Structure 1
Amino acid sequence: MSEAPCEQSSKPVSETVNILLVLANNQLEHQIRDELASRYAITSIERPVADKEFDVCIVDLVTLRNHSSRLRTLRNSSVHSSQPCLLVTSQDHETIDEEHLELATDVITPEFSSVEIEKRVQSLSRLHTLSVQVGKQQQLAQAASILSHDLRNPLNVAQANLDLAQENKEAEYFDRVDHSLNRIEELIADVSTLARQEYDLGDFATHSLQELAREAWEECTTVACSLNITTDEEVSLRGNRSALKELLTNLYRNAIAHNESPVTITVGAVDNGFYVADDGQGISAGEQDCIFETGYTTRQEGTGLGLSIVEQVVEAHGGEVAVTDSDAGGARFEITGVTVDHPHPQNKQI
């Protein structure tokens, strides 16, 4: 999503709370600025965008109605899900639809006093801080649980085979140790990625889908498998470059690992997004409902974290991911809500 024009900022005097104003009513905007600008960092934009950092967002009813779908997408993303939204109602106090009201964390009337709105902002800011802290604790707890459970088995295997190798001096046991250590390395890499799913929105930039697709392929390519890009460089994604590449890499590896025969992986564009598909054996309807769950895997050697990482990266960018069947009978993952520009289709075989 591109950044909205006519952005205005005010620097704070002492506080570090960042307030985002998305107001259609200019008079209301000036009123709020007069009340808060001396104590908070205030930024004004014309419409909600994903690449803005803030602690509290203040909107009016017109903005809420005109951009409800965009706001809903942002609130559903992992980046903005805990960030509070303060709704300033209209002066005639008209009824607010439930679907719009559910997007607001709190509501205030336009006849607010300086004391009242500051208390609301402080309260919502504290709520946001606590939510972020709880989220980090949950991520660390999840990572610790995975490490303590899944690392125990390959460590035991490695230790047992080292003991046998020392007794028998046979290379077979060293190979098993090497395999177990590689498994541990894979687990640590995946858990580390899962635990750090936090991105500085200031690092978001526009990237070529084709370029990212090729770079990700270089990290996991095999001689037998092939990549088919059906878009040209006019397809652009907005986000954290390393995270987007991690997303593509995990989708590639998932397709390669879950198919015994070599597969062709296709990357193409859809409305407001892109897809990654393969011509393998596909994913059953029952598995499609749970493949994004952390730790879920159908392979003994799988970590069960790859697709969970994919989902978290997509949500961190304000997008959505869905799985379905590909035209070739394999699996197809569609990621929407992350593109800036759309392509003219063009087939490219790698």
Structure 2
Amino acid sequence: MEASEAALDLAFVVDRAISIIDNIDSTLSARRPPGLKAPQGTKCSYAWPPSRFSPLDIAIIAETATRKALYGVNNNHPLNEKDAPLYPNDQDQPLVARKFLCWLSLVETKPLSKTSLFLAPVAFLAHQEREDWYRITGHKSRFYATVSEFIDYARAEFEKVGANSKHHVMGLLTPWFFEKNEIVADAEKRGRAIPISWERGCFRAGMMLRINKIREPNADPSYQVVLFKPSSPIYAGAVDQRPGRREKQDEWIDKLWQELHAGFAPQERWIGGAIHIHLYPVSRNVPPDSVEVTCELIEATMRDGSTFPTTSAEFLRRGYTRMGQYQERKPGH
């Protein structure tokens, strides 16, 4: 038997095993959420994670690998610089992005912080889409969040009052604009397991979504939504230019606006943007991709909120475009 045929047979066996596991998983009761017990050999004399984090934040931080890497980390006890996570890239698995977001929030969220960072990368518009990708991703889709989950999180954060009140909520978006059959075909062509083809070839598109709560004196709050979307030619590796990919991205963003309109009816929307000076850690011998660039912006904003634009002039100077008032499309249009 030739090597390529043997590889295909092995890939088939692996995919079959995954399918069997999926079928078994579907018959079992939901797994219990991971606990917050200190990893073996780790000592911590203070409560962790800090009580200022929401139950959803804690559930994400408590994931086994994340907890093991970050146990005890907070704004008074940061990691050594050499141990701090690099920016995730467009081929990294979701737990890599989760680890980065959790680390950044743990070290930069102070007791009176007015900004909340959503700790799971958002890749899907709805839960059904996440389920559809479950097998293709080798079960990794469950570590991504949906747009609706981010919106629910943001609404809950904005409802906090007093010292706990929040003015800004940010999230990392990492959707991809590939079809499932493309990944399956690539796996068959290369003779490897389907999840490997997803991880290495289904590049994630990095964007940052920020919702700002604006309250005028004696008025109900209104909202400003900013979508940081790095693109060519500013960032050479930020956008996949293959046929059909841009159209899928535009459709995804349009549906994102629909969800945001339903959740917040924002009075002001901005899209685009650029970073003036790159200080990203070099993890690969390639230009920064859109996920890395976006994480750089999120980190800079968490460290110093004053670096983010607040006026129309600042947004325009930073490469953003102001969008008109959202008009909901009628069926058939």
Larger relative strand fraction: 1
Relative to the length of structure 2, the TM-score reads 0.22
Relative to the length of structure 1, the TM-score reads 0.22
